[in-house]
Every structure is written in structure tokens, then in C-alpha cells.
């Protein structure tokens, strides 16, 4: 009987040790990262809309692109700070500028590759824009071929803001314009063009 009692005690002790071991070594649940109440991930539908808009620009389909823009759209170029950069205001001004640019710039083709489109909803009005709502941060590489045989390769960032009707009412663009100016041999945003 003593042997049987010792075996039972060993089994109970062994079981307890196994239970204690796995209780101590079981995976811990991670505490979620703090939630930023000012920004949340927006629907991927907005990523698709932003991607379609950039594709329309790349194929020079300004009519199609125009259907994606609000009447009060603003297009901000990266040639300065918020107070000095070139801005196009209103759908007509934006489409007229881009249509004229296509016919007068000597650009033969645009190719956009390696895109990333990140949709974010801003609950607050960010300092720079003053507009709450959905933004899509689009990062991509652009290859511009010109009639003169020159090529400009630039990594770009277009940030699009969408209104409540899912139309783009702001574009904020950020990229180094130097390779484009060198390939064209002129600065198309300069008043002395």
C-alpha cells in the first residue's frame, strides 16, 4: 500500500508540476497598442478611388479624372511652403492646367509603379489642411519620358482628401522636382516659363 500511495503522490505531484509549468509558460495576451482617437484606418474603397485617379493622370485621361474631382478641388504642387507653393483652385483650373501641360510640356508618357495607397480617416482637422475626413496617402514611383528623349525618375507622394460624396477635393503633392526640371530643361511652374 505504501508503494501505491507513493505512486499516487508522484502522479499528483507530476500533474501539478506540468499544470504549473504550462500555466506559467503559456503565451500571454498582448496589450493592444494605444488607440489614437484622432485618426482611424479608413475603408480600402478610398485606396481604390485614389489609385484609379492616379491611373487616369498617368494615361492622360483628364476627362475620366475630372469625374473623380469635386468642383472646389485644389491641387497643391510641391514648389514651396504652404504660403508660396503653386495651387490650382477649382475643377476647371485643375483640368485646364493639366490638359495644357500635356500639350505643351513635351511629355510623351508617364508610368507609375510600386504604388502604396494608405487610407486614413482624420476625426480632427489636421493643422496643415484644416479638413477632417478621409485622406489617402499614395506613394509611388513615376517615370516620365519626354519627346526630347530625356527621362525623369521620381518617387512621389500624393495625398488626396475626399469629401462626403467620395470625390477628391484636395491634392497635396510632395516630391523632388529637380529631375523633372532637368529633363525638361525648364521649370514649368516658374512665371518665366
Q: Buried b vs exposed e over 85-114: b needs ≥16 C-beta within 10 Å?
A: eeebeebeebbebbeeeeeebbbeebebee
Domains of the chain and any CATH numbers: 39-184 (3.10.450.50)
pLDDT one-digit tens code per residue, 36-67: 888 999 999 999 999 999 999 999 999 999 99
For the whole model, what pTM was predicted? 0.79
Question: What whole-number distance in Å separates Cα of residue 35 and Cα of residue 15?
Answer: 41
Sheet hosting strand 151-162, strand order edge to edge: 39-41, 107-122, 133-146, 151-162, 168-174, 69-76, 87-89
Q: What is the pLDDT of residues 122-162, one digit of tens each?
A: 999 888 889 999 999 999 999 999 999 999 999 999 999 99
C-alpha–C-alpha distance, residues 94 and 100, integer Å: 10
Amino acid at each position: 500500500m505504501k508503494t501505491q500511495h507513493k505512486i499516487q503522490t508522484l502522479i499528483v505531484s507530476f500533474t501539478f508540476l506540468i499544470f504549473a509549468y504550462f500555466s506559467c509558460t503559456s503565451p500571454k495576451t498582448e496589450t493592444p497598442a494605444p488607440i489614437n482617437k484622432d485618426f482611424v484606418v479608413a475603408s480600402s474603397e478610398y485606396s481604390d478611388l485614389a489609385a484609379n485617379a492616379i491611373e487616369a493622370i498617368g494615361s492622360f485621361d483628364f476627362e475620366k479624372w475630372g469625374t473623380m474631382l469635386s468642383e472646389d478641388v485644389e491641387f497643391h504642387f510641391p514648389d514651396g511652403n504652404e504660403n508660396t507653393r503653386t495651387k490650382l483652385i477649382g475643377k476647371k483650373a485643375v483640368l485646364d492646367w493639366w490638359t495644357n501641360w500635356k500639350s505643351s510640356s513635351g511629355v510623351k508618357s508617364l508610368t507609375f509603379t510600386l504604388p502604396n495607397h494608405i487610407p486614413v480617416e482624420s476625426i480632427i482637422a489636421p493643422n496643415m489642411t484644416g479638413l477632417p475626413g478621409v485622406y489617402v496617402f499614395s506613394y509611388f514611383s513615376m517615370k516620365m519620358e519626354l519627346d526630347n528623349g530625356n527621362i525623369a525618375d521620381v518617387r512621389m507622394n500624393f495625398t488626396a482628401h475626399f469629401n462626403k460624396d467620395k470625390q477628391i477635393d484636395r491634392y497635396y503633392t510632395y516630391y523632388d522636382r529637380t529631375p523633372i526640371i532637368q529633363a525638361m530643361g525648364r521649370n514649368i511652374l516658374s512665371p518665366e516659363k
